[in-house]
Structure formats: C-alpha cells, structure tokens
A and B are shown apart, each in its own frame.
Chain A
Amino acid sequence: MATTASQYPLNGQRPNIPSAAVRLPAVADYEQVDREIIGTLRPTLGWFTLLGIAVLCLLIGITAWMYQIYSGLGVAGYHPPVMWGVYIITFVFWIGIGHAGTLISAILYLFRAGFRTSIYRCAEAMTVFAVMTAGLFPILHLGRPWKFFWLIPYPNWRLIWPQFKSPLVWDVFAILTYLTVSSTFLYIGLIPDIAVLRDRETNPVRKAIYATLSLGWRNSDREWRHFTRAYLFLAAFSTPLVLSVHSVVSFDFAMALVPGWHTTVFPPYFVAGAIFSGLGMVFTIIIPIRKFFRLQHYVTLNDLDAAAKMCLFTSMVVGLAYLTEFQVAWMSGNKFEQEYFWNRVFGQWAWAAWIMLLCNMVLPLSLFSQRLRRNPSWLFILSLFINLGMWFERFVIVVPSLSHEYEPWQWGSYAPTFVDYSILLGSFGWFFMWFLLFIKQLPVMAISELKEVVPPKRKHPHPDEFEHSRDEGIAHPFITGEHELPGGAH
C-alpha cells in the first residue's frame, strides 16, 4: 500500500477537492451501500482470533485486579509520595481517546464537515467504549473500591452526601454524563441502520434481535423529521459537553497545588491533547478497517487527508501548551515550579518527557507533507506513536510532579509492578473486546447517512447533480482509493 502513491502519479498536480462536491465517486446506488456495508458483518477467522486475544488480555487484567483487591493497593507500584500512578494515567489516556469520537460525530456534524460521514460511526463507538474503559480506572485505583458509590449523591441513612467541591465528584458527574450522552447519541444514530439490518436479515433470531433494537423504526417521513431535529440537538449538547469533560478531568490536576499541576493552561491543553490522542486512535482503528473490510472507496484518502490535517493542528496546539508550561514556570519566579520543570526535562524522568515531546510534537510535523497525509501506512504507524506519546504525556504530568513536590525529605521514585501492567493490558483487552464485537454485529458506517451523499435514482436526472465531478478527474483512483481494492470495489 505504501507504494501505491507512486503507481498513480499526478504529474505533480495537487488534486484539490471541494469537500462539498461528490464524496463517494465509487459508490453507485443505495443497494451497493447496503450490500457492501452489511457484507462486512460476516465473522471471519481473523476476527475470532483477535477477539480471543482481547478476551485473554481482559482476563489477565481481571485476575490482577482481584489480587489487588484481596491484598491491598500495596501490590501496585505506588511509592509515596507518588500516590497516583498507572491507573490515573490510563484513566486520562482513555478519556482522551474518547473525545475524538464526539468531536467527529458532533462538532463536525455542526460544521457540516463532509469527511465525517464515513468515519463517525467508528469514532463514536470508539468513544463509548473508551469512556467505558476509562470509567473503570477511578474505581480501580481506590483503596476501597467497594465503597466507590459514596461518590454518587444518593439519599442514604447516614444523611451524608458527597463533597461537591472536590474535583473528583466533578469527574463523576462529567464522566457519567458523557457516557450516557455519547452512548445515547451512538444508539440514536444506529436505529435507522439497525432497521436496515432487520429488513435484510434472514436468520430469524438475529432478525428478532435487530427488530427489537430498531424499536420498530420504519423510515417514515415523520420519524425522519423528529430524528434529524433530535440529532441536531444532541450534537449541540455534545459539543460543549466534550469540551467540558476533559476540562473537568484537567481540574483534577489544575485544582491541586502540586508544582507542575497547578496551571491555568490545563483545560485547553487537555482538550486539545484529548482530541489529538483520539484522532490517533481513530487512525489506528479506521485504517485497518477500511483495508480489511475493503471500504477504501467509502473512507477515501480525502477523508484521511482531512483528518490528518486536524491531527496536525491539534498536535501543534499541544506542543504550544508544552512550551507555555515551561515559559510560565520560567517567568513565574516560583522556585518550586522552576525546579520541577527543570527536573522534568533534565532530571530523573527526562526519558519520559522526551518520548512525549518526540511523539506528540516532532513526529506529527511530518503531516505537513501531503504525500504522508495521504499515505495510510504512515498514518497508521504515526498513530501508534501518538498513542504512546499521549500515554507518556499523562505519565509526565502525574509521576514526576508528585515525586518532586514541596517537601524534599519526601521526594521519591516510582516503578510500576506486574499488577499495574496487567491491569493496563486488561484495559486494552476490555476496549478492543467491545470494539471487535461491535464491528461484526452492527454497521461500522452510518448506512442512512452514506445514502444522503449517494445520488438517488431519478426519472429525469438533474443536470447539476454529480455529473460534473466525473470529468474533473475526481474519480481518479488516487483520490477514491479504489486502487487499494484488489480487483476493485465491485
């Protein structure tokens, strides 16, 4: 695939595609959409293998957690004063992943960004599962996980309530809201597609299930009328929500007086970082899917290109935030801050800091090159680096700050144990288990929305609709991505 770019030279001419024009030149009609998307639902051996691996990782994680609950948090690598470790890092990591999904499905929906159509379903599912994963960690890292519900305000016979000034309670509200809203959003979007599956399904059992899930959806004009309206409002709600959630998560740190945490730049910085990491994960997921499900002509290189541009932008925002932190520490004249930031890049934890800077600031600059933006293989590799880098960003925020706080006598170190690692592994198992189950049970692309951008059959074809695109070379395989299909799409 990496070589395909050279197979179809453009003679140096940049293909410049107005995103409003034809989106899917290689898709002829509604039936093709149904056929190809539903075609992806057939389980394959490879899928079962991946699912098996995911479940195995999950089991390892669960075992480790059981052990930790039995003998106490001491089995994890905590080393006071580093009282937070891998669990909080991973929590922030997964929450961040979640954000890109909502961004693509909601914000880009409001902005009418065309390239969202084909990837938003995957991204949205990713969001829900990522938040499901992240939600486990605050409970996981508790000293007494079986008491976690004390953070939830419910009437109780003790007559006591949570402490609403604590950022952790803000977290509870933000994350629960986010989980509820994003999963509802996903499900609402799914209803018409499930209706399609219901109508195409022959197996009576599956048909019954789909029938139930589709809530008897029947594509009537009235349903569509309310549907589009409701969808718009949900998107309008999700947009500020997604910004608030990661701001709240950043408050966990910004509200504390720990040097390296107590910074006003955190909310925007975290939101940008979240979207950045989320886009990374989107690439990690969508690129294999479009290849193995042979959907290159739905997720076209244009879409990847556009997403990559956004990735580049957020990467630069994050990079700016990194530098701002140092500048603020330098100009603050605050001894504690200065010593901490010096220690961050030249001290005990320098290696982590440099991994972060390399993966999140330097490598993404490659996306200035259009060739790389339009090279799925590179995007995939880069996305892996981004995931790594963003995990380490959170590591750099949590661990070095805590290990070099105000009290020199209590300065310490930190080394995760196998329990930490197993649970980290388990979280990936948990996430990918759900995701794999999803992609084989439900359409990975929004059928009804794809149909919006596919020309319907007409008695008297429009003069101005779609035809112009054909002779502008837009159907050039380099753009449609058809060439990536061995033997074409159909």
Chain B
Amino acid sequence: MTQRRKWTAIPGLLALAIGAVVLSAYSGASSSQNRQPVQPINFPHPLHAAGNLKLNCLYCHNTANKSPDPGLPAVGTCMGCHIVVRADKPEIKKLWTYYAMGGPTAKPIPWVRIHKVPDYVHFPHMRHVNAGVTCQTCHGQVQTMDRVYQYSSLNMGWCVKCHVNGYDPQEGLRATGYVPDTGRTVTPAGERKYARYDCANCHY
C-alpha cells in the first residue's frame, strides 16, 4: 500500500511537466513589453498631450496619417515654442544644446526607440490611423505616461486579434481615455472594421 502511494506521485509530476511545457510556449510573447527606457531628454507627454495644451498627437508625429512612419518632430519643431517657452528649465537647455541654433554642432536628439516591430513586418501607420484606430489602442494612454513604456506586446497574435475579429471603433475610442467608460457594448461583427489577415499583408 505505502509503496504504491509513493510511485503514484510520478504520473502527477509528469502531468505537471507537460502543463509547464505548454504554458512556456506562450512565454515567447514579447519579452520587451513594459520596457521603459530613459530618454536623452525627459519629454513629459502629459504636459503636452494632456493638461491645458492638449496637443494632438499628429502635431508632432505629423506623418502618422500619411506615411508608414509616424514621424518624430524635428528639433526645429520643438524650438518653435521653446525658443521662448520655459527656456530656463534644465531639460530645455539640453534641447538647446542639441539644436545649437542650426549651427555646425547641431545634431538630432537620439531618442531611444520603444515600440518596434521586426523589420520583416511592414506596419503602415497611415492605414491604421485613417481606419480610425486610435493611437492609444496600440501605444496606450501616452498622454498620461510620465515616461513612455511599451504598452502592447506587439507580438503577432496581438496584431492578428484585430485583423481577424475586427476592430471595434467604440472600444478604440474608450481606449483613448478621453471618453468615460460607460459599460461595455460590444459592436456587432458587421459594424467592426476588418482587415485582411493573410501573411503577405504585412510580410514581404
């Protein structure tokens, strides 16, 4: 009897091991999620995108709706205001040294990249932006982030979720955080936005 109890533990352990393997298959999911690097200039998104400025994302990332690249603001764009505004703040001083009044020592700000899909993936920003996918859907509520971090896993399953099940505009709107969350109303399949989801849509 006692002996039997001893070895009946073995199949149990085996089952656990199998379960662990299956779960570990998911561990490949974007290891870089929630990465929050330090930027050369501590740019406060809340100050610009929220607060009383409420700049539109497209003010700085001005090609997000017409190019695969969202676009980073040129240093000149920043200087547009900061040539006068808050010119005494240490972070702004950094900005000035980068700009150097367009002189020979001027150099672009080496921002640290956060959201990146592998290069065999083609992610045309404009198609998504023009389809009504809100920035926050993928990038999170940047307007509330003191330091931006990688919000989504950016792994393939995450992309495909929307492409197959369709994108719910209401949900996207809610994701922005600008409209109050008034209970979940799931949009019927017909009214969602669908995209093709065969490989060649993004991989070529």
Residues of A bordering B, CB below 8 Å: 154-160
- How many whole Å from A180's CB to the nearest CB in chain B? 14
Q: Which chain B residues have a beta carbon within 8 Å of chain A's beta carbons?
A: 22, 25-26, 28-30, 153, 155-157, 160
Given A155-B25, A156-B25, 19 additional A-B pairs, CB 8 A: A155-B22, A155-B26, A156-B26, A156-B28, A157-B25, A157-B26, A157-B29, A157-B30, A157-B153, A157-B155, A157-B156, A157-B157, A158-B155, A158-B156, A158-B157, A159-B156, A159-B157, A159-B160, A160-B156
**Which residue in chain A gives the minimum CB-CB distance to B24?**
A154
Once the chains are docked, how many angstroms separate the CA of A155 from the CA of B22? Answer: 7
Q: Which residues of A contact B30 (CB under 8 A)?
A: 157
CA distance A486 to B185 in the complex (A): 91
Q: Which residue of B lies closest to A155 (CB)?
A: B25
A221 to chain B, nearest CB (A): 19
Chain A residues, Cβ within 8 Å of B155: 157-158
- Tell me the bound Cα distance from A159 to B162 in angstroms: 13
Q: Which residues of A contact B153 (CB under 8 A)?
A: 157
**CB nearest to A154 among chain B residues:** B25
Shortest CB-to-CB span from A158 to chain B, Å, is 4
In the complex, which residues of chain A have a beta carbon less than 8 angstroms from the beta carbon of B160?
159
Residues of B within 8 A of A154 (CB): 22, 25
Say how far A214's CB is from chain B's closest CB, in angstroms.
14
Please, which residues of chain A bring their CB within 8 A of the CB of B29?
Answer: 157
Nearest chain-B residue to A215 (Cβ)? Answer: B7
Return the 3 tightest CB-CB contacts between A and B, nearest first.
Answer: A158-B156, A157-B29, A159-B157
Q: Please, how many angstroms separate the alpha-carbon atoms of A156 and B156 in the complex?
A: 10
Q: Write the chain B residue with the least CB distance to A149.
A: B25
How far apart are the CA atoms of A204 and B156 in the complex, in Å? 55
Complex alpha-carbon distance, A160 and B153, angstroms: 17
Nearest chain A CB to B203 CB, angstrom units: 11
- CB-CB under 8 A from A160, the residues of chain B are 156
| Bound-complex Cα distance A154 to B29 (A) | 14
Chain A residues contacting B26 (CB-CB under 8 Å) are 155-157
With a cutoff of 8 Å between Cβ atoms, the chain B residues found around residue A158 in the complex are: 155-157
Q: In whole angstroms, how far apart are the Cα atoms of A2 and B160 in the complex? A: 71
How far, in whole Å, are A157 and B27 apart by their CA atoms in the complex? Answer: 8
Cα–Cα distance between A160 and B29 once the two chains are bound (Å): 14
CB distance from B51 to the nearest CB of A (A): 37
**In the complex, A155 Cα to B29 Cα: how many Å?**
12
Query: What is the CA–CA distance of A431 and B86 in the complex, to the nearest angstrom?
Result: 75
In the complex, which residue of chain A has the Cβ closest to the Cβ of B3? Answer: A216
Chain A residues lying within 8 Å of B25, measured Cβ to Cβ, are: 154-157
How far does the alpha carbon of A390 sit from the alpha carbon of B22 in the complex, in Å? Answer: 40
Distance, CA A154 to CA B153, complexed state (A): 20
11 contacts between A and B (CB under 8 A): A155-B22, A156-B25, A157-B25, A157-B26, A157-B30, A157-B153, A157-B155, A157-B156, A157-B157, A158-B155, A159-B156
Minimum CB–CB distance from A474 to chain B (whole Å) comes to: 47
CB distance from B25 to the nearest CB of A (A): 5
Tell me, in angstroms, the Cα distance from A121 to B12 when the chains sit together.
Answer: 32
Q: How far is the CA of A157 from the CA of B159 in the complex (A)?
A: 11
Contacts of A155 in B (CB 8 A): 22, 25-26
With A and B bound together, what is the CA distance between A156 and B23 in angstroms? 9
Q: Which residue of A lies closest to B197 (CB)?
A: A159
Bound CA span A156–B26, Å:
6
- Rounded to whole angstroms, the CA-CA distance of A158 and B28 in the bound complex is 9
- Which partner residue on chain B sits nearest A159 by CB separation? B157
Residue of A nearest to B153 (CB): A157
The smallest C-beta distance from A154 to any residue of chain B, in angstroms, reads 5
Q: In the assembly, what is the distance between CA of A156 and CA of B28, in Å?
A: 8
Contacts of B22 in A (CB 8 A): 154-155
Q: Which residues of B contact A159 (CB under 8 A)?
A: 156-157, 160
Question: What's the nearest-Cβ distance from chain A to residue B30, in Å?
Answer: 8
**Complex CA distance for A158 and B156, rounded to whole angstroms:** 5
Min CB gap A211→B, angstroms: 14
- Complex-state Cα separation, A158 to B159, whole angstroms: 9
A154 to B21, CA, bound (A): 10
A158-B26 Cα distance, complex, nearest whole Å = 9
When chains A and B are docked, how far (Å) is the Cα of A154 from the Cα of B156? 16
Question: Which B residues are in CB contact (< 8 Å) with A157?
Answer: 25-26, 28-30, 153, 155-157
The residues of B that contact A156 with a CB separation of less than 8 Å are 25-26, 28
Q: How far is the CA of A158 from the CA of B160 in the complex (A)?
A: 8
With a 10 A CB-CB cut-off, give which of A155, A158, A160 has the most chain B CB atoms.
Answer: A158
- Most chain B beta carbons < 10 A, residue from A154, A157, A158: A157
Closest residue on chain B to residue A156 by CB atoms: B25
A157 to B155, CA, bound (A): 7
Contacts of B28 in A (CB 8 A): 156-157
A158 to B29, CA, bound (A): 9
